[in-house]
A and B are shown apart, each in its own frame.
Chain A
Amino acid sequence: EADIYQTPRYLVIGTGKKITLECSQTMGHDKMYWYQQDPGMELHLIHYSYGVNSTEKGDLSSESTVSRIRTEHFPLTLESARPSHTSQYLCASSDGTSGKNEQFFGPGTRLTVL
């Protein structure tokens, strides 16, 4: 099983709150990713990072922001949560050196905004 962790696993909050979803990996991977997934739908890439101090927006527009100050840590922040942000958020990492770019996923955070 991959060594990538996400906290919290479940979060229910009210509209307007600021939240941070945590993601950490102990594999020393340079590349990290955040995906958003709604029930029965495909994963959509919302943020990625090539390494420390590198962050890029993904295919799906998101009001969230990310930071990459340390290799192992890639938190995602929502400054003011809204009901439209209700979704599952999955973090992943890859070493990018194998040529196959195999991504390892965390267990996900299920976010509900009331």
Chain B
Amino acid sequence: KNQVEQSPQSLIILEGKNCTLQCNYTVSPFSNLRWYKQDTGRGPVSLTIMTFSENTKSNGRYTATLDADTKQSSLHITASQLSDSASYICVVSDRGSTLGRLYFGRGTQLTVWP
């Protein structure tokens, strides 16, 4: 069964600190993995997208890594800001269908305190 598991479920950090969010997946055949940021009451917004051959990608203070062999990804946030408070969702796409089906994790709820 294709699944995406994220940890931790929730995380509280102080402003200015770094943090790392984890994602493990069993989706096969793998196409790409993306991290989305979802603010409360809003739709998800894409942060990074990585294909099989890419093992790291950065977007400002966000750096995602991918180990396709172990089927693990992480999202590292540097020098956190209050606006980083949101749910971070790991999404894996398969290449087994023309639809390019997406499999969603439940997200990590990040809260940044001043």
Contact = CB atoms under 8 A, between A and B. Distances in A.
Task: Judge: A and B partners, yes or no.
Answer: yes
B41 interface: yes
Interface string B34-56: 10000001111110010100000
Given A96-B100, A100-B51, A102-B49, A107 B106 contact: no
Interface in B63-114: 89, 93, 98-102, 104-107, 109
A73 interface: no
Nearest to A56: B99
Main secondary structure of the interface of B (DSSP, over half): strand
Interface stretch (A42-50, A61-69, A77-85): A42-50
Given A31-B99, A45-B102, A92-B43, 6 more contacts: A1-B45, A40-B109, A100-B49, A101-B102, A102-B49, A103-B102
